[in-house]
Every structure is written in C-alpha cells, then in structure tokens.
A and B are shown apart, each in its own frame.
Chain A
Amino acid sequence: MQSNDTSTGRWRRRRTTLVATAVVAALILTACAGDGQAGSDDPVVVGQVAEPASLDPHVVTAVNDFRININLYDGLVQYAADSLEVEPALAVDWTISDDGTLYTFELREGVEFHDGTPFDAEVVKFNFDRMLDEDHPYHDTGPFPLAQQFYGNLAEVRVVDEQTVEFELSSPFAPFLSNLAYPTGLLISPAAVEAHGEDVGRNPVGTGPYVFSEWQSNEFVTLERNPDYWDGAPEVPGVVFRPITESQTRVNELMSGGADMIVEVPPDDVAALRDDPEFMVGEQAGPHVWFLILNLAEAPFDDVRMRKAVNMAIDKESIVNDVLQGTATVANGPIAEAFGAAYNPDLEPYPYDPDAARELIEEAGYGDGVEGTFYVTEGGSGMLDPVAMGEAMQADLRDVGIDARISTFEWNSFLNEVNAGIEGKADMAQMAWMTADPDTLPFLTLRSGAWPDEGGFNSGYYANERVDELLEAAQIEVDEDARIAMYHEMQEIVVEDAPWVFVASWKQSVAMSPRVDGFELHPSFLLRLHDLRWAD
C-alpha cells in the first residue's frame, strides 16, 4: 500500500475514468441506434420459425427447411406459380407410358450447379439412388425419412443419354409426379455430397436462384443471388433467413426493422397488422387439415351418433375466428380446399348445434354425462395453437356433458403416442397434416390397411370397405377425372361416418415491410423468393 494521498488520488482518477467510460458507451449506443432503413443493395431478411435442421433436401422433413431449400435448389418439376399443378423445371418435358409405370424426362440443357458441376441425367440418377438404393456409396449420408413414402415405387432410374432419364415404377402411382415437385425431389450436386458426406446439409450446393453463402448457427443463413440462374437472375442481392422461434419475437423484429418479412404471424398480430399502413400482410389457404382423431375402437366413439355429436358440439367458427383470429377456415372434410378439383365443394361442414349434439348423446345413452381423455400437443408443425384450441374444445364439450380430460405432450413424444394408435389411452387426439397431393392424407390415415399395426397413421381405427376400395383405386388411376370422382365419393362417406372431428384448414400468413415487392404466397406453404424486389 502506498501513502494515503496517492491512493486518494487514484480513487478520484478511477472515478473520472468510470464516468468517461459511461459517456463513451452511451455515445456508441446512440450511434448504433441510428442505423435506419435498408437500402436496395441490402439482402432481404426473412424471419423464419426455427433453426433449419439441415439444408440437404433429401434429409429434411420440415416446411421451415423447405422454405430455404426451394430457393437453393431446383427439382425436375415444380408447382405452378399459384396452384399445386405441376410444371417443368429442370426437366423441360416428360412422357408417361399408358400403364403409368414409365416416366421419361427430357432435361434442360446448359444448367450448372453453383459449384460448376454440369446438370445431366447422371446427376438425376445419383440423387434418387442415394435416397433409395441401400448399396449406393452415399446412402449412409441420410437418413432419408420421406424417400420411401414418396418414391418407394421407383424400381429403377435409367440414364438414356446425357439429357434423357427414365424412371421405372414397380406399380402405377398417381401422386408420383406431384411428389417430384415436393421439396424432397430437389436435386443436389453430387460433387458436394462426395466432398462433404453427411455434412453436406451444412454445405448445400444446388442449381437454384440463390447460392448458399453462410450459416451461423441459430443466427442466420445467408444466400446470395445466382447471376447465372437459368430462369433469370434474382433482382435482390441476397436473402437472409433468421431463425426466430417465438412468434411474438418475429413480430417485434418486423416492427423494429430487424426483419423485412416474417412467416407464420401470430393470429392477433395478423389482425392488427392488416390495418397498419406500415406493413403488408399476405394470406393463403394451404393444403392443410386440422382434425381430432376419435377412437373408434372403444366406447363412446364406437357409436357414430357420439362422433357426430362432438362434430356439432365444437364451435369451429369461434375457433377459427376468435382463437385463431381468422388465420384458418373451417374444414368440411378430410381434403383441404386448396387441392382444387379433388376437394368436394358440395359438402357442408357440421353445424355448431349443441342442442342437436345433446339429443344425439341422449340417444346414444350417454345423457348422464361421459368422461374421456383428450391428447393435446404443446405445439408442432402445422398444429396452429393446439393448447388454446384444445382448451376451447374442452369448454365446448363440457357444455354438452362430455368431460374431456386434457393430457399434453411435447410434439415428438405426442407423435410417438398417437401414431402408435390411441386404443386404451385416449378417446380423442389432435392432429394436423399438410401434404402435396390430395391422396396422401386419406391414404395414410383413413384406410383400414393403414391401422397403426400395419405401419400407417390411422390411429383411431376407422374402417370402411368402400373407402378402402376408392383410395386404392385412386392411387393407381391415371385418368385425372376418374380419380377426382373417387375422391369426391370418399369424402362424402368419411364425413357421414365422422371418424374425425373436422376442424380447420390453415391460412398461411406473411407480414412484410411495404418496401418488399414481387412476393406471392404459394398454396404449398413454400417461400419462393426468386422474383423479390425492393420497391422504390
């Protein structure tokens, strides 16, 4: 210790330094706070719902990842701009044999991957063999969870010449072409797979309108525009995807300028942002159905009157308009309106009629009240606001004398519980599906051949012979009109049998700054940013 006066002096000096530091810090902060509007040389920042699992198109299963991949890669075919119809992409043309088992694709010439690898028939073969052929040298860079479900009928991919490739199916499979347009059919550079192995998902190389630039875990994924894109280079210099898990935080970021565009806007904010001139809101109904699986194997829902009663007891209008603030529409049956022709527009949704429901319950012999278990998830892909919806349904059911006891599960364990079948465990379970083809959902969830023990997702044990026949015939029917007629009949039967409570179809929403131009939502819920522009 030094003499006392120096130490006093030091104390004073230190105090001065402290004050100075504080002032400098304050200045810096105000300076930073000033950085304002994005300029036209800036990339567009998109607020996404989660950190991507991977950017390997064959590995990922979530819409969140698809939204990035669709901008990095192309498939052989793609959805048309405003529908789920299929149009050419990397294949310029194709023919399908009369028996529906041989597809021949003519490939686009002069396309290169971002790493310079030329796109040709060998590339196509590599991509599908990697997913489907267990002996393929890069099959172990998976797993490829959707490959079997989408392309399982693919017996062989044959290279005819550099620009021609043939797909031979083991049996006719009507959804095949639209499955190729699904993001699992996007094509990755074989050279990148060879170079990076299972880490290719963090080093993605495609042919798409944007080129992968940087991935900072949990902060952002940056893409730059591809100046050589075959369909015209994008106008904006790039796009940045920020994973912002909490919906409220996404809104905050949009309002504070941290994002130019956000997806899956919370219902309350959609309503408010719609009226706010500072922002634009886009909404688009999607191929999505939200429903309650009823347990047909056990009382009380082995009785069709009880199933109709719950369909009438639940106030679906109130759920879509109040709980979901108009971000969904009431579903009339198992096929969503977004599927166009396959949707049966003549079916009326079950009306909200608690009195009629009580009568049916009385008839079925449960007039004195009945108890049941209701499986609810905390949240999950396409589940909207499951807890709030579950609690609202619980209250509606209580009004008609049904005491639904809620059990909640985290999404993955929820899927494990429900997909294994709910017999002996629950009477009702929430579920939602979003698919690319009208076939997928009913085929996997309503056939008797799709009961859980058969490996399907018919977790409530619905069985109707005519429905089985229709679904199996539709899957191999090559004639589109005949196929649609089968779907319409199937929907009528299923609505009458009421194995589910048909609740809602989701409207996808984005909110953006009015400075972002050239963006249209697509019914597939993908986010194609090719035509993005900064408004002047």
Chain B
Amino acid sequence: MSASTASPDQTPDDGVVVPRRGGTTWRRLKRNRLSVAGLIVLAIVVLLALLAPVLPLIDPAATNPANRLQPIGSEGHLLGTDHLGRDLLSRLIWGGRTSLSVGVFATLIAASIGSLIGLIAGFFGGATDNSLMRGIDVLMAFPYLLLAIALVAVLGPGLVNAMIAISIVNIPFFARAVRGTTVSLVASEYVDAARALAFSRLRILFREVLPNVMPTIIITMSTTVGWMITETAGLSFLGLGAQPPTSDWGAMLGAGREFITRAPHVMIVPGSAIFLVVISLNFLGDGLRDALDPRLK
C-alpha cells in the first residue's frame, strides 16, 4: 500500500514534525472566518444536544398517528412530524445527542488505539513496526465502508456495533499518521538527548514523544470525526446501525426515505443536520490544521 495514504481528506504527508506553538494556535484559528463560523455552529449544536433533557421539548417518542407527516411550521411542531406523528424538532435534538456522541466516541476509540499502534511501531521500529504496519495494511486493503459493513455482518446490526465498526476502519489513519511523526521524532536530536540521559524507553515514549505527536493526532481527529458521524449515520440509514426505538439522524433519514414524494421534509430535516455539522467540522478542521501546521496551507 502506498505510504502516502491518509484520511479521506488529508494531504499525503506522513512524518510531519509539527512544532508546538501553544497560544499562537488560537490566534491563527481566529483569523479564519469560516473556522470561527464552524465553531459557533458546532457550539450551538452541542449545547442543544447537551441541554435536550431540560429544553421544553415534546417527548420524542410520543406518537400521534392521526397527526402524522405534518409539514414544517405546523402548529406545535416547528419542524413538522414524522410518519407516526412524532415531533421532528424534538427527535432531531435527541437524535443529535445519539449521532454526535457516537461520532465522538468512535473518534476517541480510533484515535487511542490507532495512535498507540503508530507510537509503538514508530518508536520501536524493526520487527514490531513491520508486523504492526502489515496489519494496518490489511485493514487498509478493504474499501473503507465495506470493511465496516463486513464487521457489522459479524457483530450484528446495532448502534454500538456500528460505532465499533466505524472506529476500527478509522484506526489505520491514526496509526499511519502517528507512526510517521514518531519516526521523525525518534530520529531527532532531543530524543537522542533524552536517551543520553538514560530515561526509560516508556518515559521517553509517553513524556517526550507523545506530546509532540499530539498535534498530528488532533489534526487527524479533526479530519476524521466528520466522516465518522456521516458513516455511522450511513450505517443506521442502511438499517445496520441504530435500531428502534433508538433513533439517530441516520435512522431518521432512513425512515424519511419512505416518504420522499409525500413528505420530503422528514428526510430533509435530519439530512441537513448531518450536512451542517459535518461541514462545520470540516471548516474548523481546516482552520485547525492551518493553525497547527502552517506549512500545509
């Protein structure tokens, strides 16, 4: 496999040593208007999701079949109702809780496991490196979504299983990127210096190397989290993710598909939400990358 593969949206630069700039990062980020807009949108969405239990929302599970498929702006239902007469606004916010937390959890899982593999492979090199990265190559040999689907086939459909599947398929992106950075760090002088001070290898790995790898991890997280939200929603859309009565944005979209001629808003509402969140994440991710690593601009 090519050494230059990275996350879906990343330039082919393994092994970038990223200098740490601390406070300047935020200043750089603030200059990028789209990133700031993305940040604001995300803040609002996250806030709504967090506050769902205390907001004056209609019970998202309360059905009212006689009042089904009401259009956007109908009385008492700002975004209308779905095929069982459930309030779409309420379902959107509660579903967002599910979608966002699943996306973030998947990212954290993929980032921790993937980064650990990358660190170990890059730091110890040799046979360890070889065997770990061959394993990663095998994961990369499957088309992205297809591996997730195969994993769901084994684990069985369900939101947690979909999340696990999506994390596993994203591990390689972290492993590759982190290994690249680690390798160049290990070769650098100050790790030599640390070695000269006879620090233990673990101490060097976690105290010296890890902090310097963090920007790479953060950049990779910011470029993959949007994908993970989209793909878990996609699995739910296909009926392989969230199972009723749990409902995330993907499942709402899948249900809305049955009504695209009669009530397209049932599909448009959750789809717009996914789009808005993902594009905000991408704007923010871009800004973050430029701020952390101006060389790539």
Q: Do A and B come into direct contact in the complex, CB within 8 Å?
A: yes
List A residues at the B interface (Cβ < 8 Å): 246-248, 251-252, 255, 266, 268-269, 272, 318-319, 322-323, 376, 378, 387-388, 390-392, 394-395, 406, 408, 410
- Give the interface size bracket for B toward A: 20 to 34
B78 at the interface (CB under 8 A from A): no
- Closest Cβ of chain A to B18, distance in Å, is 36
B65 at the interface (CB under 8 A from A): yes
- Closest Cβ of chain A to B122, distance in Å, is 39
A-B contact pairs, 11 of them (CB 8 A): A246-B257, A247-B258, A248-B257, A248-B260, A252-B261, A268-B258, A318-B66, A323-B83, A391-B63, A391-B245, A410-B157
B19 at the interface (CB under 8 A from A): no
Question: Within the assembled complex, what's the spacing in Å between the Cα atoms of A81 and B262?
Answer: 35
Which of chain B's residues has its CB closest to A255's CB?
Answer: B261
Interface class of chain A by DSSP: helix
- Closest Cβ of chain B to A403, distance in Å, is 12
Question: Within the assembled complex, what's the spacing in Å between the Cα atoms of A406 and B257?
Answer: 23
Question: Within the assembled complex, what's the spacing in Å between the Cα atoms of A242 and B32?
Answer: 52
Q: Would A248 and B261 count as touching, CB distance under 8 A? A: yes
Q: Which of A268, A376, A387, A395 contacts B61 (CB 8 A)?
A: A395
| Extra contacts besides A323-B65, A388-B83 (6): CB < 8 Å | A247-B258, A248-B259, A248-B261, A269-B261, A376-B244, A387-B244
Please name all residues of chain B whose beta carbon is closer than 8 Å to the beta carbon of A406 when the two chains form the complex: 244-245
Which of chain B's residues has its CB closest to A325's CB?
Answer: B68
B243 at the interface (CB under 8 A from A): yes
Of B84, B259, B260, the most chain A CB neighbours within 10 A belong to B84
Q: Would B244 and A395 count as touching, CB distance under 8 A? A: no
Q: Per-residue 0/1 for B73-85: is the Cβ within 8 Å of any A Cβ (1 yes, 0 no)? A: 0000000000111
Question: Within the assembled complex, what's the spacing in Å between the Cα atoms of A395 and B63?
Answer: 7
B225 at the interface (CB under 8 A from A): no
B187 at the interface (CB under 8 A from A): no
Please name all residues of chain A whose beta carbon is closer than 8 Å to the beta carbon of B239 when the two chains form the complex: 378
B62 at the interface (CB under 8 A from A): yes
Q: Would A248 and B258 count as touching, CB distance under 8 A? A: yes
Please name all residues of chain B whose beta carbon is closer than 8 Å to the beta carbon of A408 when the two chains form the complex: 243-244
Q: Would A392 and B259 count as touching, CB distance under 8 A? A: no
- Closest Cβ of chain B to A273, distance in Å, is 10
Which of chain A's residues has its CB closest to B256's CB?
Answer: A248
Q: Would A272 and B262 count as touching, CB distance under 8 A? A: yes
Which residues of chain B (259-297) have a CB below 8 Å from chain A? Answer: 259-263
Report if A319-B157 is in contact (Cβ < 8 Å); known contacts: A378-B239, A408-B243: no
Q: Per-residue 0/1 for B33-68: is the Cβ within 8 Å of any A Cβ (1 yes, 0 no)? A: 000000000000000000000000000011101101
Q: Would B84 and A323 count as touching, CB distance under 8 A? A: yes
5 A-B pairs closest in CB distance: A322-B65, A395-B63, A408-B243, A268-B262, A323-B65
Question: Within the assembled complex, what's the spacing in Å between the Cα atoms of A450 and B239?
Answer: 34
